[in-house]
Structure 1
Amino acid sequence: MPDARLLKAPMTDALILDEAAQQRGLSSPPDASASSGFRPAMPPEAPLAMPVQDLGRWDPSARRVPSRPELRPWAARAFVFGGAVALTAYGTWQMYEVISVSGGATALQYVLLGLFTLTFSWIALAFTASILGFLALLRNRRTAAVPTTLSGRTAVVMPVYNEATARTFAAVQAMREEVEATGLGGHFDWFVLSDTTQPDAWIAEERAFLSLREELGPGARLYYRHRPKNHHRKAGNIGDFVTRWGAAYDHMLVLDADSLLSGTCITGLTAAMEADPDAGIVQSLPLIINRNTLFARVQQFAARIYGPVIATGLTIWSGRDGNYWGHNAIIRTRAFAEACGLPDLEGRPPFGGHVLSHDFVEAALIRRAGWGVTMLPLLAGSYEESPPTLIDLSVRDRRWAQGNLQHARVIGAAGLALPSRQHFATGIAGYLASPLWLAQLVIGIALVLQTAWVRPEYFSAEFGLTPVWPRFDPVRALQLFGLTMGILLAPKFLGLLLALVDGPTRKGSGGAIRLVLSFLIEILLSALIAPIAMLIQSGSVFRILAGQDTGWNPQRRDDGSIPLSDIVRRHRWHTVLGLLTGGAAFAIATSLFLWMSPTILGLVLAIPLSWASGQLAWGLALRRRGLLGTPEERDPPPVALRAAALAARNAMLGLDEANALIALHAEPRLAHDHAAMLPQAAGRPRGTIDADRTLAQAKVIEAETVAEARAWLKPKECMALLHDRALLDRLTRLRAS
C-alpha cells in the first residue's frame, strides 16, 4: 500500500514527492520549464477578444456595412425555390389523385399525403439546385488562377482528437512542403491543436512534433498545443487558439485531421480572401481520396462525380449567404472572433449545452455581422477522407444528426439572414427525412392492409349511397413513382453527363464504358444500403428526441474491416425487420410485396451488405478493373503521394505504437521537452481532491519500476500524471524493470 504519510494534510504535493524520493536516495524534482535549450512549442500569445454572442437579441446597427454593394442572386433563388414549390405542388396533386380515386380520401390517406409532400419537397429542392449547378458547369469549368503574391499572415490550424499521429503529421508536412514550393510559404504558420485524451496518442503527437520541427530547422514555423481539458470540443479548441494567438494572424485556414490540401489550393483560398475585403469565410469543396474499401469507394466515386453539380448549385443560389462545413476553409480571424463566440444553449444535451455542429452556426453568425460566406467549388486541390464502412459512417452520422437537430434551437436566432435559416432547415430536414420515409412506409402498409382485410363501415361526410373505400389508382401511382425516382436520381444523372462530356474526368474515371458501369454499381449499392441507413438514422433521431446524448467518439479513418460479430450485433434487427416486413407484405398482397421489394431486400441483406462494405479486397478488386475510379485515383495529387510516403515512414518509426510512460522513461529528452510544454498548473483549491491525480501519485510512489507503474495506472490516472511535472520526474527515476 502507499506510504501513509501521503495523506498528511500539511504536506504539499511537491514535499510528499521530495520526501519519498529522499527515502530512495533520489534528488528533488527539477522545474523543467526553467531549463534552457528548449524552443517554446507555441509562439508568444497575441490575445484577441471573442465575446459570446446573444442569440436572442441583435441590433441591426451592429452589422458592418460592406465595402461594396452586395448583389443577391434573386433569379437563381427564384428558379431553385420556385421550381421546388411548383414540383412539390404538382407531386402533391398527383398523389391526391392516386389516393382519391373513389371520390374521396380517408384520414389515414391524408396522413400519407402529408408525409409524401414533406419528403417530396426535400428531393424537389435538391433537383432544382442540381439543375442550376449543371447548367453553370456546362458553361464554365475553369479554375482560379494561381496567385503569385500574398500580403497577410495565415495560421493553418489542424485540430486533432485521438488521431493516428503518423498520418496527421505526414499530412501537415506534405502540405507545408507544397506551400513552400509556391514561394509563398513565409505567409503561413502551421499549428497542430490537440484535444487528445489518450495518453499514448498525446505523447506520440509530441514526439512527432518535436521530430518534425527538428527536421525542418529554425524556420519551421510549426507549433503544437495540447489542451488539458477539451472544453466545447472542436469549437472550443479553435476558440482557444483565436483568443490566445488570433491577433497575430489575418486569417486562419481550418483543417480536419484527414484534410489534405495542395499548395495551390491553400494559396488560392488565401488569395481569394485577400481579394474580397468583405469575405468572412471562403469554403472549398473537398473531394474524397485514398479510399479502398467497397463502401468508401462508392462514397469517393459519388462525391467526385455528383458532388460538384450539387455544390455549384448551392453556391449560386446562396451567393454570399453560403454555409461552412467546418474544415478546408479559410476564415478572417478578427471577423470570426467578433461574431462567432458560441453560447451554451439552455438545458441539457442533446438539445442543450454547447453547440455540437458549430460550423453552420458560425457561418450564420458571421453572416449576421455583415461578412460574406462564399464557396469556391471549382478550386481544385481540396481533399478529405471518408469512413471505411457503413457502421463507421453511422457512428459519425449519429453525432451529425444530434448537431443538426440541435439547430432547431438556433434557427430562430435574432438577426439571421433568411438563407442561413434555410441552411439550418435543410440540415434538420436531412435527418428528419428518414423517420418520415419510415412513417410513410408504415402508413402505406396499413392502408393496403385496410383495403385487403377490413370492410369499411363509414360513409363520406356528404350524403351518398356508397361507402368511401381506401382505394388507389395503380396507373397514376406508377407514374408518380417514376416521377419521384426521376427527380431523386436526376442529380446523379446530371453529374454523370458532365463527367462524360469532360475529357479529363471521363479518362480519369476509366473511360466512358467504365464510368457508366461505375455509375450503375453506385446506384445499385446505394439503393440497397438506403433502407439500412434509413433505419439507422431513424433510430438516431428517436434516441435524440428521447434525450440521449451522443458524446464525441474519434472517427476511424483506416481501411480495416469490422469483426463479423460486431456487424451481426449492429444489423440483426434490421434483418429480422426485413424478413417480417417481407412476409407480411407478401401475405397481404403480391403488389405490396413487389412495391416494397427494394426496401425489403436491402434490410434482409443488411448483414452481408455491411460486411461487404468494409472489405478491402472487394474494393481493390473493383479498382483493378477500373471501376468506381476517379481522376484523383488514376493520377494521384502530388500532395497525396507525398503524404502517403511520409505516413509510411512515420509508421516505421512506431509513432503510434509506443507506450507513453515507457517512451518518457526511455527518452530523457522527450520527458524534458514534454514537461517544458506543460502549462503552468493552476493551484488546487484547499479542501478539494483530484481523485485521478491523487491515485496516480500514490501508485507512482509505490511503484519500483516503470513496468509496475504502467500496469497499475488507469488511463485517466496516466493523463493526470502526464500533466504533473513532479509526478513525471518521479516516473523518470523508476527502474526500467
Structure 2
Amino acid sequence: MTESATESRPWHLQATIRRLVLTAFVAGQTGLASWFLLQVLPYHGGNVVEWLIVAVFAVLYLWIAFGFWIAVYGFLLRLLGGDRASLLKRHTPNELAATPLSKTAIVMPLYHEPVSWTLKGLKAIYLDLARSGRLDDFDFYILSDSQDPDVWLQEQQVWLKLVEELGAHGRLFYRRRRVNLNYKSGNVADFLRRWGSQYQYMVVLDADSLLAGDTIRTMVQVMNREPQVGILQTAPTIINARSAFARIQQFANRLYSPLFATGLAAIQMGDAAFWGHNAVIRVAPFMAHCGLPKLKGAGIWQGPIMSHDFVEAAFLGRAGYEVWLEPALGASYEESPPTLDDELARDQRWSKGNLQHAALMLFSPRLRLAHRFAFLNGIMAYASSPLWLLFLVLTTIAAVQLTIAPIDYFPDGRESPFPLWPEWRPTWAITLVVSTMALLFLPKFLAIFDVVAHRALSGFGGFLRLLSSVLLEIVVSVLLAPIRMLAHSHSVVSALLNVRLSWAGQNRTEETGWREAAMRHLPGLIIGSAWSAFAWTLDPMFFLWSLPVSVPLALAAPTTVWLSRSSSGESLSRRGLLLTPEERTRMPLLDDARGFREEAESEVALTPVEQAVLVPAVNRLHRQLAGRGAKGLKKEVIEGELDACVSRGYRGIEKGRLSLLLEDPQALTALHRRAWSAPSDSFWGQRVRNLVLHAQGLQDL
C-alpha cells in the first residue's frame, strides 16, 4: 500500500476510545474483585500462598470480565440497531448492488474428510452462487492434502462426477499435493504460488463450511469498495447438529454469538482476527506479506507455525491493511464436532498452535497492539485451564495451612509486635462468588432479552422453550467445565513439552462408546474423588466447595456418552429444546446441502483403490491426473510394489508406497492390464468376478 493509504485509518481514534473504556471497566472490576478476595482470605495477604491465590484469581477474573463487557457492549449495540462504524454500514444496499465483482477463487482445503458429504456441501454453495446469476466471476478449487489412497482416489472420482453434474468444466478444479508440507497453510500457499496471480480475491472454506451465494457476492463487493481491507471475516453459525453435545453447541452459538461477535467486532474494528475460513482475502497483499516464517526458538517455538490464521491477520495489519469482522454478513455456516472427545482432540492441536503465538506476540517487530492482544486472547483460551487448576491447588494448600498446620500469628517473618489474627468474612465471600457467577451467566440472559427485543422468539420455539434451553445449556456447561479444564491443562503441558501431534481429519458422525469414555475420563474421576475425599478430612465446608469440580469429573463418562448420542439430540429436539431459527426456516442453500447429503449413495462393489485399478473409466481418470511417471529410485520402488500388488493384492502395501504406485500413470496402466488377466482364484481375479456380477445385477434391475 502507499504511505498515505497505510496511514489513513479514520476509525482508529474511535477504536482507541472504545478500547480504553473497555480496559477501564475490565481493570477496575478486576481490581475491585481482587481486593475483595484479599479481604476474604483469612490472613488478608499475610503469606505467600494468599498472594499467589490473589494473583492467579486476578488473571482469571480479568479474562472473564473481558468476555462479560464484550457481551454487554454487543448487546447495547444490537439494541441500538448495530454498530454505525462497522464496515457494512458504510455502504447502502443499492451502492453494493451497483458494485462490480472481481475474479475470485473459492478454495476448500481437504485432509481425510468424508468425501461425498464434504463435496455435496460444495455443490450446494456452487448452485446457490449460480442462482445469483454471477457465477462467471468465480472459480472453485478443491485443494487436497489427503495421503490415504482410498480417500484421495475417491476425492478425484467424486470431483469428476460433480463437474459433470454441474457442467462445471473449467470452473471446478481439483489439485492434490503429494507432500503435505506445513499443514493447511502450506496447502493454501501452494495454491497461491500456482494460481494466485489469476485472482483478486480468495474465499476460504473449511470442509464443513457453507456460504450463501448472496453473502459471497456481498463480501467481494465490499472488498472492491474498500481497497484498504485485506481480509473480511464472517461470523459463522453452527448448523446440522445431531448429537446432544453438538445441539448444545449449536444453540449456544446461535443465541450468544451475536452479542459476543458484535461487541468484539466493535472493539477490534479494522484490527480484527482472521478465523481461517468463511472469509474473503485480498490475494496480492496476502501473497506479498503473509508468508509464514519458521520459528527459530526451542521446543514448541521452533519449526512451522501450526495455527496460521491469527498470524496472517497480524502480518496484513503490519503491512498497513485492515482486517474486519462483520457479524452482519449472514448465511455463513459451519458445524460442531459431534462429541466432547472430538472437540478436545481438536483443542489439543489448537492449543499447541496458539501457544506458539507467544513467540510472535513478544518478539515479532511492528505488529499492531490489537493483534498482539489477539495472540494473548488465543493463548488464554487454553492457558486459563491450568491457571484454574493452579488456583484449586493453591486454595487447597491454604485450607491445609488453616486446618492441619498450627495458626501462624507472625507469618513470613512478620516483624510487627502485634500478631496477625486470621479473620473470616463469609458475607464478603458470598458477594464475591455471586459477582463472579454474574459475569459468567448474565450474558446468557442478555441474549434472551436480545431475542425478545428483535422479536425472534419463534425461531427458538417461544419464550418458555428458549428459557428452558438456556437453563439446560447452563447445567451442561457446568458439568463440562471441569472436564475441559483437565483436558486443556493436559494439552497445554503436552504442548510445552513439545509432544508430537498427528494431523488428522475430523470425526463428524461417530458416537462415544462406554469403554472409550470410561478409560478416557478415569484419571479425572480419580483426581476429583481423591481431592474431595481429602477436602472432607480437612473441613466439611471445603468439601462442599470442592463438589462443583469433583462431581462433574465423577460423572464425565456417562455425561460424554449421553451427549454423544444422536438419539439424545433427537429427543431434546422433539421436546422443543435447543431449537434454532435455521431449523425452523427454509433456505435454498441449507435445503440443497441437506438434500444432497441425504441422497442414497449407489452401491459400489469395490473400494476406491479397486475401482482405480479395474474400472476402465476410473483408471483413465486417475492416469490423466497422475502427471508424469516416476524415475530413478522411485521407479524401482514402484516396479517392486507393482509385482507385489498384482500377486498378493494391495492391502499389505504401506499406504505411502501404495500412493506412489497409484500416482504413476504407467503403473496404473500395467495394474489395469495385469489385474484383468489375473487367475480367477487370485485377489484381483475375485475382484473382477465381483465387478462382473455387480454389473450383471444392475442390468437385471
**Stretch of structure 1 that moved more, 235-244 or 591-600:** 591-600
Q: Any conservation in 2 of the 1:67–1:277 contact (CA below 8 Å)?
A: no
Determine the structure 2 residue equivalent to 1:52.
none
Q: 1:64 to 1:726 in 2, by over 3 A?
A: farther
Q: Which amino acid aligns with 2:663?
A: H
Q: Which amino acid aligns with 1:330?
A: V
**Stretch of structure 1 that moved more, 171-180 or 562-571:** 562-571
Determine the structure 1 residue equivalent to 2:337.
387
Q: Any conservation in 1 of the 2:180–2:186 contact (CA below 8 Å)?
A: yes
Confirm whether residue 354 of structure 1 aligns to residue 304 of structure 2.
yes
Confirm whether residue 327 of structure 1 aligns to residue 277 of structure 2.
yes
654, 663, 672: which one aligns with 1:723: 663
Determine the structure 2 residue equivalent to 1:668.
616
How far residue 365 of structure 1 moved from its aligned partner, in angstroms, is 0.2
Aligned-partner Cα distance in 1 for 2:206–2:61: 34
Aligned-partner Cα distance in 2 for 1:63–1:347: 36
Q: Which amino acid aligns with 1:536?
A: A
Confirm whether residue 514 of structure 1 aligns to residue 455 of structure 2.
no
- Cα deviations across residues 471-521 of structure 1 (Å, max 9, x unaligned)? 5422211111111111122322222221232223x1111000000000000
Aligned-partner Cα distance in 2 for 1:325–1:218: 29
517, 524, 543: which one aligns with 2:475: 524
How far residue 327 of structure 1 moved from its aligned partner, in angstroms, is 0.1
625, 629, 633: which one aligns with 1:677: 625
Q: Any conservation in 2 of the 1:578–1:603 contact (CA below 8 Å)?
A: yes
Q: Any conservation in 2 of the 1:62–1:369 contact (CA below 8 Å)?
A: no
Q: Which amino acid aligns with 2:436?
A: T
Determine the structure 1 residue equivalent to 2:639.
697
Q: Any conservation in 2 of the 1:79–1:128 contact (CA below 8 Å)?
A: no
Q: 1:64 to 1:678 in 2, by over 3 A?
A: farther
Q: 1:355 to 1:628 in 2, by over 3 A?
A: same
- 1:436-451 alignment, distance < 5 Å: 436-451=387-402
Confirm whether residue 608 of structure 1 aligns to residue 558 of structure 2.
yes
400, 403, 414: which one aligns with 2:365: 414
Which is richer in helix? Answer: 2
How far residue 103 of structure 1 moved from its aligned partner, in angstroms, is 5.9
How far residue 308 of structure 1 moved from its aligned partner, in angstroms, is 1.1
Q: Any conservation in 2 of the 1:84–1:121 contact (CA below 8 Å)?
A: yes
Q: Any conservation in 2 of the 1:349–1:548 contact (CA below 8 Å)?
A: no
Q: 1:258 to 1:97 in 2, by over 3 A?
A: same
Aligned-partner Cα distance in 1 for 2:43–2:252: 43
- Cα deviations across residues 146-170 of structure 1 (Å, max 9, x unaligned)? 7365331110000000111111111
Q: Any conservation in 1 of the 2:318–2:368 contact (CA below 8 Å)?
A: yes
**Stretch of structure 1 that moved more, 672-681 or 265-274:** 672-681
Q: Which amino acid aligns with 1:700?
A: L
Confirm whether residue 336 of structure 1 aligns to residue 277 of structure 2.
no
- Cα deviations across residues 576-620 of structure 1 (Å, max 9, x unaligned)? 112112211122111112222211111110111111120111111
Larger RCO, structures 1/2 (Cα 8 Å, 6+ apart): 1
Aligned-partner Cα distance in 2 for 1:266–1:304: 21
Aligned-partner Cα distance in 2 for 1:244–1:635: 41
Q: Any conservation in 1 of the 2:232–2:279 contact (CA below 8 Å)?
A: yes
264, 267, 278: which one aligns with 1:317: 267
Q: Any conservation in 1 of the 2:641–2:661 contact (CA below 8 Å)?
A: no
641, 647, 652: which one aligns with 2:601: 652
**Stretch of structure 1 that moved more, 241-250 or 214-223:** 214-223
Confirm whether residue 130 of structure 1 aligns to residue 47 of structure 2.
no
- Per the alignment, in what secondary structure is the counterpart of residue 710 of structure 1? coil
How far residue 197 of structure 1 moved from its aligned partner, in angstroms, is 1.0
Structure 1 residues without counterparts, runs of 5 or longer: 1-59
- Per the alignment, in what secondary structure is the counterpart of residue 135 of structure 1? helix
Confirm whether residue 501 of structure 1 aligns to residue 466 of structure 2.
no
Q: Which amino acid aligns with 1:438?
A: L
How far residue 126 of structure 1 moved from its aligned partner, in angstroms, is 1.0
Determine the structure 2 residue equivalent to 1:272.
222
Q: Any conservation in 1 of the 2:512–2:560 contact (CA below 8 Å)?
A: no
Aligned-partner Cα distance in 2 for 1:218–1:603: 52
Q: Which amino acid aligns with 1:669?
A: A
Q: Any conservation in 2 of the 1:106–1:468 contact (CA below 8 Å)?
A: no
Aligned positions, number: 665
Confirm whether residue 258 of structure 1 aligns to residue 199 of structure 2.
no
Determine the structure 1 residue equivalent to 2:6.
65
- Normalised to the residue count of structure 1, the TM-score between the two structures is 0.87
Aligned-partner Cα distance in 1 for 2:356–2:262: 27
- Cα deviations across residues 515-561 of structure 1 (Å, max 9, x unaligned)? 00000000000001000000000011111112212231211112x21
Aligned-partner Cα distance in 1 for 2:651–2:500: 32
- Cα deviations across residues 430-471 of structure 1 (Å, max 9, x unaligned)? 211000000101111111121111103451545445643555
Determine the structure 2 residue equivalent to 1:594.
544
123, 130, 136: which one aligns with 1:186: 136
- Normalised to the residue count of structure 2, the TM-score between the two structures is 0.91
Q: Which amino acid aligns with 1:617?
A: S
Q: 1:701 to 1:462 in 2, by over 3 A?
A: closer
Q: 1:580 to 1:658 in 2, by over 3 A?
A: farther
Aligned-partner Cα distance in 1 for 2:342–2:501: 14
Q: Any conservation in 1 of the 2:629–2:666 contact (CA below 8 Å)?
A: no
Aligned-partner Cα distance in 1 for 2:465–2:318: 46
709, 714, 725: which one aligns with 2:649: 709
Q: Any conservation in 1 of the 2:642–2:667 contact (CA below 8 Å)?
A: yes
Aligned-partner Cα distance in 1 for 2:24–2:505: 41
Q: Which amino acid aligns with 2:433?
A: F
Q: Any conservation in 1 of the 2:38–2:45 contact (CA below 8 Å)?
A: no
Q: Which amino acid aligns with 2:479?
A: L
Q: Which amino acid aligns with 1:139?
A: L
- Cα deviations across residues 702-727 of structure 1 (Å, max 9, x unaligned)? 4546xx32233222221111222222
Determine the structure 2 residue equivalent to 1:543.
494
Determine the structure 2 residue equivalent to 1:117.
58
How far residue 138 of structure 1 moved from its aligned partner, in angstroms, is 0.9
Aligned-partner Cα distance in 2 for 1:471–1:396: 45
91, 96, 114: which one aligns with 2:38: 96
